[in-house]
Structure 1
Amino acid sequence: MPHLDRRAFLGLTGAAGVGVTAAIAGFSSAPAWADPSFADYPFTLGVASGDPQPDGVVLWTRLAPDPLAVDGLGGMPPKVVPVNWQVAEDEHFRVVVRAGAEQATPELGHSVHAEVTGLRPDREYYYRFRVGNQLSPVGRTRTAPAYDADRRQLAFAFVSCQNLPTGHFTPYRHLAEENLDLVLHLGDYIYEGPSAGSIGRAHLPATEIFSLSDYRIRHAQYKTDPDLQLAHARFPWAVTWDDHEVENNYADGTSEDPAQSPESFAQRRAVAYQVYYEHMPLRRMSIPRGPDMRLYRRLRYGNLADFNILDGRQYRSDQVPTGMDDPSRTMLGTDQEQWLLDGLSTSTARWKVLGNQTVITHADRDPGPGQQLPNDNWNGYPAARQRLFDGVVDRGVENMVVVTGDAHCSMVSDLKQNFDDQSSRTVGVEFLGTSITSGGNGSDLDARGREWLASNPHMKFYNARRGYVRCQLDHQQFRTEYRVVPYVTEPGAPVSTRAAFVVEAGQPGVRTDTV
């Protein structure tokens, strides 16, 4: 199915299209609530910051005194509420350097996205919100270095796949104790299906979600988790989605469910995209327009690293059981693919990092002469992958590192220009990160891991525990540590480093490092 047509969507009904149109126009049809007062604390969903630039960040919160209210309104009246914000150099706000106000509208779920400018590059700041006589928790953030800065070191972590009913978000508690400049979330921030689990963290609503109120309640439920709130409040994040923010394994305008018409799926996608925006620290450039939302973007950290945040779900061709090597098939869409190659080839940064949703390396599960390949990740789009790899070689791009989510396991792989010829050029390295909770406690090695390691000589490591990945880089090397917990079905698990790897600048390929 071609990319969804916005004009066709205008004929659809539902709150999503109306709400986003109002937001884009910069007004609300609701009356103002000039002197708000609340029976309960309005900042139950915490605070967050994201997409740091050298002169500022975007600050986020959402007013929700009753976050799980069945109507999805968070306990808020249908009124526009002024929300004040402050940014300070110290956590006690003795030196306030920027302040302002935003209008929290019912059309966007009373979410707040304050795009702060005028800050100094590469500096730590503290922020908070005020509404009426209520103060939010204090968040900590950090601006990016100047675009031409000679940044010597950088630390970031990447995470994905946090299924609330299958585990406690303990990895986030440990992540919050790290010393990081940035956190990347690579998709599956929520799960859309019904699940009660067995640990007392059942999904709300109890059924699969479809409506605006359903998605708002589900996002709010995840945001009430204290470990997730803490990790958001400690560092700026850069987020992208995969499939479960809308529906499992969807592809552009095509639902996984053949009974769901293109029109009804467009409505569902528009609702899901709007609510994703409402709950993430994203800039106005990402305000959705019906079932379309610009999410791919680039963050620059001086001359040390560029982060290319990809969207491998919204523009892709549909999955197919055969004919996957058709050259017309795309993972990123024509525009994003060209944007990525142009950005890689013109980058002046030492490291070119791709924030990627699904496995890109050749991932055969058949140890014999045949091949067993998945079709929902890049293995189902080999021509698109080859265009990317050939483009990297043709344009002389060096030091490309792909960080990936989705698969609920950890894996490290050299990326070969021709996976059938292991002597071919290594164009980069992929670090696949495990899930926060999805898949339950996991294990060191499972059946897929044994099959992958036996079938793919370019793969160097596999583990199926839960956790996150910490990366430290300078101009000489890119070091990655796999931080894992032994269990998530109970709270309080300790964290340890399972393995560490290094990529040397100018020397394609990965090597094991000491822990």
Structure 2
Amino acid sequence: MTNRPHTLSPGRRTVLRGSLLASAAMTLPAVSGAPAFARSGRPSAEWGVQVGDVTASTALVWVRADRAARMLVETSATESFRRSRLWHGPLIGAGTDFTGTTALHGLPAGEQIHYRVILADPDDPRRTGRPVYGTFRTAPASRRAGARFLWSGDIAGQGWGINPDLGGYTVYEEMRDLDPDFFLCSGDSIYADGVIEPAVTLPDGRTWRNVTTEEKAKVAETLDEYRGNFRYNLLDANVREFNAQVPSIVQWDDHEVRNNWYPGQILDDVRYTEKDVDVLAARSVRAYREYLPVATLRTAPGEGRMHRVVRHGPLLDVFVLDMRSFRNANSPDRQADDATGILGAEQLRWLKGELSRSRAVWKVIAADMPLGLVVPDGATNFEAVAQGDPGAPLGRELQIAELLRYIKHRRITGTVWLTADVHHTSAQHYLPERAAFKDFAPFWEFVSGPLAAGAFPASALDGTFGPDRVFVEAPTRSNLSPLEMPPLFGEVDIDGASGEMTVRLRQQGGRILFTKVLQPGLTGQ
């Protein structure tokens, strides 16, 4: 529905792939172990490039070197780089695990930007490695171009990692073919608590094989182990090629640290020698800063926040929530008063203010957990917002009720909730006439994933906010491998002329499972 082609031209795709192959000597190992890099006298970037949090005029470019190096970025309007602009990036070394990010600014809106990253010897700037190429589109200044993006989450979970027999994470190749403006990763970008075994026997007797690494042989506790978890997915050529073409907006959830964690938690888990989850979270967030091009995480050492707004032209603002760092402890969640909730008081104030200030036609609220789906944590506690009581709001529901009431009374239109987390895909319509709490305007919530993890049965619904699950695709048993249930992702396409938003729930193999068209400025659709 957007007013531009959905894919790159064959020539552009060929050049990009050729550049990636020429600049990356990394190959998937046959069975296990990290790739063996051929070290020369010049720095190299076998882990590819990434771009994140792209706006109409800014972007962040990421790279990892094989040694200390000066990061340089060239940008151009053409693939020939005849007229280019040079950006001097940081000196990258062991302190950041040889990763670096360069901020670009003053970019032209709504244009295809070609870039290449060059790594220079810090002692001899003339000694440079082979450039690594990429491309991305800046957000448009006008609505005519429309907007289109993909979202999903849950990568390398439940023991299902990079399978060399299948060619790795081939779903990334399918998503790359759609050539979206960006990819929204809705959390669980790694599974730091998930061990990857060399082989897993499936119920039908087939064998699933995994690429394995030392850091994925146990749960992550040290900084180096968390770094190794972020490196793991970059072993896959499909991921690296996707990253070189499609910018990302990445949020985090629990598995970046440990399943179902919350601040202040002391672990009762024999796999961990470090029991203080706050210590683990600090190590994880440092690795997260190092390995992802996320603007708000690079304010200063030890500072920064996850929640932010990424503005994508007049049609779209993406409100990236952090439902992990400020939450209260998981509990039965039936308290009648709860000022902390799942967002924390400060983040709730921030979200209200940013929603009020937004002039975008569509306001996508990127939540790392669903609202009306019941996600248990053990026998009596709950992990997300809903706790299975369909009556008046209790516990964390009180904070969401306050937010929904605010959206209604401030007449904020165009809010759509996107999430992942529950390892199946579904569409829920929330309507006050069906709800115990009625002081809100109707809205939609769409769930997608997993992208490369185990699939699980559909979660139960909680009636407090009146959800009607109009579509669901989920298995009947737990932890199906990607061989048994192909990966799931979502697509959002906003038409520049009409402002219509089309949401498609997709499955690898080209299947469109469900489609919903939403009209701008309307409620109760």
TM-score by length of 2: 0.76
Q: Which residue does the alignment assign to 1:172?
A: 172
Q: Which residue does the alignment assign to 1:460?
A: 470
Distance 1:188 1:61, change over 3 A: same
Distance 1:289 1:418, change over 3 A: farther
Following superposition, the deviation at residue 406 of structure 1 comes to: 0.7
Task: Note if 1:382 corresponds to 2:397.
Answer: yes
Contact 1:157 1:180 in 2 (8 A): yes
Superposed CA deviations along residues 206-228 of structure 1, whole A, max 9, x for unmatched, are 11110011112221121111111
Q: How many matched pairs?
A: 437
Q: Which residue does the alignment assign to 2:147?
A: 154
Distance 1:503 1:359, change over 3 A: same
Contact 1:47 1:136 in 2 (8 A): no
Following superposition, the deviation at residue 253 of structure 1 comes to: 3.2
Q: Which residue does the alignment assign to 1:119?
A: 107
Distance 1:274 1:183, change over 3 A: same
Following superposition, the deviation at residue 250 of structure 1 comes to: 0.8
Superposed CA deviations along residues 310-340 of structure 1, whole A, max 9, x for unmatched, are 1111111111024355333411111111111
Superposed CA deviations along residues 121-143 of structure 1, whole A, max 9, x for unmatched, are 11111111112432243111121
Contact 2:404 2:441 in 1 (8 A): no
Q: Which residue does the alignment assign to 2:350?
A: 339
Q: Which residue does the alignment assign to 1:24?
A: none
3-state SS in 1 of match to 2:53? strand
Task: Note if 1:90 corresponds to 2:90.
Answer: no
Aligned-pair Cα RMSD in Å: 2.9
Farther-moved stretch of structure 1 (168-177 vs 87-96): 87-96
After TM superposition, list the pairs within 5 Å mapping 1:6-155 onto structure 2: 38=40, 42-64=44-66, 76=67, 80-131=68-119, 132-146=127-141, 149-155=142-148
Which amino acid counterpart does residue 209 of structure 2 have in structure 1?
G
Following superposition, the deviation at residue 295 of structure 1 comes to: 1.4
3-state SS in 1 of match to 2:386? helix
Query: Any gaps of 5 or more consecutive residues in structure 2?
Result: 1-38, 120-126, 162-167, 201-207, 388-395, 475-484
Distance in 2, matches of 1:326 and 1:112, equals: 44
3-state SS in 2 of match to 1:252? coil
Q: Which residue does the alignment assign to 1:11?
A: none
Following superposition, the deviation at residue 270 of structure 1 comes to: 1.4
Task: Note if 1:211 corresponds to 2:211.
Answer: no
Q: Which residue does the alignment assign to 1:359?
A: 370
3-state SS in 2 of match to 1:274? helix
Q: Which residue does the alignment assign to 1:482?
A: 505
Q: Which residue does the alignment assign to 1:5?
A: none
After TM superposition, list the pairs within 5 Å mapping 1:201-350 onto structure 2: 201=210, 203-204=212-213, 205=215, 206-257=217-268, 264-283=276-295, 285-287=297-299, 289-290=301-302, 293-350=304-361
Contact 1:389 1:417 in 2 (8 A): no
Distance in 2, matches of 1:373 and 1:90, equals: 58
Q: Which residue does the alignment assign to 1:471?
A: 492
3-state SS in 1 of match to 2:513? strand
Distance in 1, matches of 2:178 and 2:380, equals: 36
3-state SS in 1 of match to 2:285? helix
3-state SS in 2 of match to 1:138? strand
Distance 1:484 1:263, change over 3 A: closer
Distance in 2, matches of 1:266 and 1:505, equals: 42
Distance 1:409 1:136, change over 3 A: farther
Distance in 2, matches of 1:128 and 1:122, equals: 19
Which amino acid counterpart does residue 112 of structure 2 have in structure 1?
E
Task: Note if 1:189 corresponds to 2:199.
Answer: no
3-state SS in 2 of match to 1:458? strand
Task: Note if 1:400 corresponds to 2:415.
Answer: yes
Following superposition, the deviation at residue 293 of structure 1 comes to: 4.0
Following superposition, the deviation at residue 257 of structure 1 comes to: 3.5
Distance 1:253 1:121, change over 3 A: farther
Contact 2:183 2:246 in 1 (8 A): yes
Distance 1:219 1:40, change over 3 A: farther
Superposed CA deviations along residues 320-367 of structure 1, whole A, max 9, x for unmatched, are 0243553334111111111111111221111111111001125499xx
Contact 1:58 1:282 in 2 (8 A): yes
Distance 1:373 1:137, change over 3 A: farther
Contact 1:157 1:470 in 2 (8 A): yes
Distance in 1, matches of 2:434 and 2:519, equals: 21
Contact 1:469 1:482 in 2 (8 A): yes
3-state SS in 1 of match to 2:177? coil
Contact 1:87 1:126 in 2 (8 A): yes
Distance in 2, matches of 1:202 and 1:170, equals: 14
Q: Which residue does the alignment assign to 2:34?
A: none
Seq. identity, %: 22
Distance 1:284 1:241, change over 3 A: closer
TM-score by length of 1: 0.78
Distance 1:163 1:387, change over 3 A: same
Contact 2:331 2:381 in 1 (8 A): no
Distance in 2, matches of 1:392 and 1:88, equals: 42
Q: Which residue does the alignment assign to 1:391?
A: 406
Contact 1:249 1:256 in 2 (8 A): no
Farther-moved stretch of structure 1 (44-53 vs 463-472): 463-472
